[in-house]
Amino acid sequence: MLSHKFSENVLDATKKFEKLITNKKEIDGLPTTALGLAAQRIVSNEVYCAYITRASSGNLDNIPIINRYTTDYARGRKICDGDLLMNPILESMKNPTSRWFQGDYFLGFYDGKIPQLL
């Protein structure tokens, strides 16, 4: 049930995204073939950031669902009283200086939400 709602939120947020270019300067200098691909770094970074942060705000916010998953995970871990494979990964994600928040793939997006989930 939660995974279905999570997937619906991601799909709806993906469909909802749009980028309106109102200033020709945003795409100046791009070759004709690249215009269709929106290859300019600023535009592509904006599209990428919108893609990786979809379903994280408003009525499509998946944060409560992720919180529920992590709560259920923690509850299951206590019941099993075992050292699960994901525990070291989840622990490392609590630290905003960990490798999860480094590199171009986050583009400086970190806003403090992820550690609050765990």
Measured CA to CA, the distance from residue 27 to residue 41 in angstroms comes to 10
Average pLDDT rounded to a whole number, residues 17-22: 76
Under 8 Å between Cβ of 66 and 117: yes
CA distance 92 to 47: 28
State pTM to two decimals: 0.35
What pLDDT digit, counting tens, does each position of 56-69 carry?
A: 888 888 888 888 88
Each residue's pLDDT tens digit, 71-96: 887 776 665 555 555 566 666 666 65
Cα(56)–Cα(94) distance, rounded to whole angstroms? 18
State yes or no: pLDDT of 70 exceeds 60: yes
| Placement of tokens 């979809």 in the chain | 54
19: Cβ–Cβ under 8 A, 6 or more apart, which residues? 38, 43, 46, 47, 50
Percent of the chain predicted with pLDDT > 70 = 51
Instruction: Count the residues in the chain.
Output: 118
Q: Is 110 within 8 Å of 101 (Cβ atoms)?
A: yes
